[in-house]
Structure 1
Amino acid sequence: MRLSPVSVLVAAAVVSCVAALDSRTCHRTWKGREHLHPNVYKLPPPTDDEMDEMRSLPRHLDWCERGMCTPSWNQHIPIYCGSCFAHGALASVNDRIKILHHELGWKRPDVMIGRQSFLNCAPGHGLSLGCKGGEPADVYEFMKVYGLPDETCLHYNATDYTKYITASNPNGTCPPEGFCIDCMKTPDSPETPVCFPVSSMVRYRAKKYWRLAGEHAMMKELQHGPITCGMACTNEFVFNYTAGIFRDTTNFTELDHDVEIVGYGEDEHGVKYWRARNSWGTYWGESGFFKIVRGENNLVIESDCHVMVPDVSDDKFVWDKVHPAYGGSIYGLRPYDQNQIAHIGYPLENSSDISWNNTQHYSHELLHKPKRPMPMKLGSTPTPSNAWIQLVMVALVAGAVSIVAGVVGTSFRRALYERIG
């Protein structure tokens, strides 16, 4: 079924209402994907074939129990930043890189992808709004086009591209040091430490990424590694969850957060659950993790998931024990073996080649047209007269919600800050 123009406007208005609730946990933009919002598109039940396949899969799977989980993060420090989409997306990437290294027989330290490098540089290229929200696909598209370094290039400080906005740089395009930086005394400045950009480093990329939804698709993909899923967050979940299997009873569907799903299972009473990692520190929940009922789309956690296949080909430049192509320096990677570089077949990219101060627009920025992989089940198309009434009512409701949310959200945050300050 094709969406009518009015239905598209209604979907956008629904998402606008959600956006008005600025006291929420995180920020999801739903840019170009309004038609997939859980309030608009309802998941169909699994087919008989899908049920049979789920029964054939392992009843219990946990990538952390297999030793394939990297350390956890906290998006809320040193200040609040609505970057759950980046944390959730990159947490599954970190773990999939660890799984890939293990499959390749590479005994390497854990890789933690640079969150701050993304928040500094991706918005200037049209991918996310930094601390004001985004989508997991923004993260994966940036990694596909540009790649991201690990966190040793830049520690997380919960800021974004807005610190670079000036009259001459209205897009907030990041300078080279916003991607990777070093600060120390140098031969040219022996008395005073200086900071300078590092232009050559290993960058981790996305081979491909896609969206999936539903218990069957999630379980099937989890056989290959963790995934990232959106969810709605009630106050009960945020402030009162401590341990065990969570089940929301309010039918809350305002998806506003992203988490990493690391596995699934059943408890001793046969209750099915997902095991997920949050980005609120290890002092929250079960050492930063939680369980939520599976197969019920509780808190719409089965409605909007993403998967990315990482590309670690840059690693081979520096990790070859016999013939490394590049070696490291204070200023970044430098050629070590020209013969090996020629054998590999392509040189390590230099980040200065990316037009940091004159944003190079790619097709995904200029020709963003949302794909609609699933038919929308919205019922019958409203008649023109009812459509206008519907649209006016949605607009009135959106305005009212915006006003109430602004007042309540501000009061709520002020009270909370006073409690924890």
Structure 2
Amino acid sequence: MHVLWTLLIPLLMAEEMVASQARSRRELAPGLYEHGVYDAGGSYCEHGDVCCNGRNDGCTVPYLDTICYCDLFCNRTVSDCCPDFWEYCLGIPPPFPKPHGCTRAGRNYPSGATYRENCNLCTCSPGGRWDCEDHACLMDAELIDAVNGGNYGWRAANYSHFWGMTLDEGIRYRLGTFKPPPTVMNMNELHMSMDSNEVLPRHFDAASKWPGMIHEPLDQGNCAGSWAFSTAAVASDRISIHSMGHMTPALSPQNLLSCDTRNQQGCSGGRLDGAWWYLRRRGVVTDECYPFTSQESQPAGQPCMMHSRSTGRGKRQATARCPNPRAHANDIYQSTPAYRLSSDEKEIMKELMENGPVQAILEVHEDFFMYKSGIYRHTPVAERKAPKHRQHGTHSVKITGYVGWGEEHMPDGQTQKYWTAANSWGKEWGENGYFRIARGVNECEVETFVVGVWGRVSVEDMNHRK
């Protein structure tokens, strides 16, 4: 008997200790809120139908970021009870004032709760009202409907990867080309020699003339670096064409973003003349060798991981391995000095047809972000709204496309001429990454500053890089 009692005592003490610890967690720890739950409303016990007599730790329901109880043990000064315990389970008024929560979609939310309505944050105020920010959003359902309901010649779409961004953020993070200074804008224009009666084709397909040499649209993400992306895109095509297909490099925008730091700001914007200076004097590697990593705008930027040194005769070679360890070809590609074209529509057409894609500056307005298809013209749909819904910024693009230009017969019987340009917002945007824009009328200043360049290509290069 003594032996049995000796065995039972530790067992009973262990059970008592477990029970004591369970109680102490509940009884001695402070409740969620002293004197009751003040900042929430909602029928927690009622919805869960979990009222219990006495003490029952199973009578719980999720509450904010923890749990609350629906048993009689809650009836204390320090409470961890659900807000509707007293009313629903006991049939008496709660021992604290009725909370001023907010209602949304048939549900109650406590003071301080938040939700996002597109690009605006809404917060439940102590007075029981949702207070929402009032930013202009990049994707605006009213403007999309207005474009699609009007006769503007193009269609708008709601892009999920732009949803939740403000218009300010779109201008700040999705463009990124500084307007050329007066010294650059005053560059002498290089005129094409054209006969006064020369007739150019109504349609021109760059990809058909130079198969395998026209590179697809890029994606700059939320990096305001169109200055680097459009430069790399045009240079890639031009080097491919001028080497007669012996070299078809897809050049690295990241090389420019990280290493061209002379008066440039990486993913916070840059100048086209600086980008072409760097491509001529320093050169860049391919995107495979130095892939794009600056998906977000970063004040500090990415450190330069690729430098070059002169080998004589204007040529340069890399002084480091590729940042991408799986790539081994770190050849440096360069261009000749960039030249500005005339703003004359036909001269731009002839340059594109003879020498390849060109770079253009584009003034982007609020409706351009929503472009899906058709021939774009800036619309007046935002004029009925507050001024904050009408903003614009400077962008740069590659005029090329699988059709460099063309014409389309409109429903009203008129003929609309257009350029096709490659944007750098990914292939999910626009017409598979491209957009068409009205030609010959300087729409959004697309014909104001157009640049061409020659790839620095020698016979030695073509033999070496086949």
Q: TM-score range by the shorter chain?
A: 0.5 to 0.7
TM-score (norm 2): 0.49
- In the alignment, the residues of structure 1 paired with residue 337 and residue 184 of structure 2 have an alpha-carbon distance, to the nearest angstrom, of 23
Q: Which residue of 2 aligns with 1:83?
A: 225
Task: Tell which deviates more after alignment, 131-140 or 214-223.
Answer: 214-223
Of the candidates 217, 224, 239, which is equivalent to residue 72 of structure 1?
217
The structure with more radius of gyration: 2
- In the alignment, the residues of structure 1 paired with residue 280 and residue 360 of structure 2 have an alpha-carbon distance, to the nearest angstrom, of 20
RMSD: 3.8
- Does structure 1 retain, via aligned residues, the 8 Å contact 2:218–2:424? yes
- Does structure 2 retain, via aligned residues, the 8 Å contact 1:83–1:130? yes
Of the candidates 194, 200, 203, which is equivalent to residue 57 of structure 1?
200
Letter matched to residue 276 of structure 2: Y
Q: Which residue of 1 aligns with 2:97?
A: none
Q: 1:264 to 1:31 in 2, by over 3 A?
A: closer
Q: 1:36 to 1:62 in 2, by over 3 A?
A: same
Letter matched to residue 82 of structure 1: A
- In the alignment, the residues of structure 1 paired with residue 319 and residue 361 of structure 2 have an alpha-carbon distance, to the nearest angstrom, of 27
Letter matched to residue 372 of structure 2: T
Structure 2: state its 5+ residue gaps: 1-166, 187-191, 309-317, 384-389
Spell out the pairing of 1:321-336 with structure 2 (5 A cutoff). Answer: none
Could you say which structure has the greater relative contact order, defined with CA pairs below 8 angstroms and 6 or more residues apart?
1
Q: Which residue of 2 aligns with 1:136?
A: 272
Q: How far apart are residue 319 of structure 1 and its match?
A: 3.1
- Does structure 2 retain, via aligned residues, the 8 Å contact 1:255–1:300? no
Spell out the pairing of 1:152-301 with structure 2 (5 A cutoff). Answer: 152-158=288-294, 163=300, 176=307, 181-182=321-322, 201-212=330-341, 213-223=343-353, 224-239=355-370, 241-250=371-380, 254-262=392-400, 263-268=404-409, 269-301=414-446
Letter matched to residue 361 of structure 2: G
Task: Tell which deviates more after alignment, 56-65 or 140-149.
Answer: 56-65
Q: Which residue of 2 aligns with 1:33?
A: 182
Q: Which residue of 2 aligns with 1:111?
A: 249
Q: Which residue of 1 aligns with 2:80?
A: none
Q: When the two structures are aligned, how many residues end up with a matched partner?
A: 264
Q: 1:182 to 1:230 in 2, by over 3 A?
A: closer
SS in 2 for 1:98: helix
Q: Which residue of 2 aligns with 1:318?
A: 464
SS in 1 for 2:330: coil
Q: 1:31 to 1:264 in 2, by over 3 A?
A: closer
SS in 1 for 2:336: strand
Q: Which residue of 2 aligns with 1:302?
A: 447
Q: Deviations over 1:176-234 (max 9, x none)?
A: 599854579xxxxxxxxxx7998x93211111211233323312311211001011122
More helix by share: 1
Letter matched to residue 280 of structure 2: K
Q: 1:65 to 1:282 in 2, by over 3 A?
A: farther
Q: 1:55 to 1:244 in 2, by over 3 A?
A: farther
Structure 1: state its 5+ residue gaps: 1-19, 38-48, 166-171, 185-194, 321-421
- Does structure 1 retain, via aligned residues, the 8 Å contact 2:268–2:299? no
- In the alignment, the residues of structure 2 paired with residue 148 and residue 163 of structure 1 have an alpha-carbon distance, to the nearest angstrom, of 21
Q: How far apart are residue 107 of structure 1 and its match?
A: 4.5
Q: How far apart are residue 143 of structure 1 and its match?
A: 1.0
Q: 1:54 to 1:295 in 2, by over 3 A?
A: farther
- In the alignment, the residues of structure 1 paired with residue 306 and residue 288 of structure 2 have an alpha-carbon distance, to the nearest angstrom, of 18
Q: Deviations over 1:153-179 (max 9, x none)?
A: 2110126896479xxxxxx77675998
- In the alignment, the residues of structure 2 paired with residue 236 and residue 54 of structure 1 have an alpha-carbon distance, to the nearest angstrom, of 38
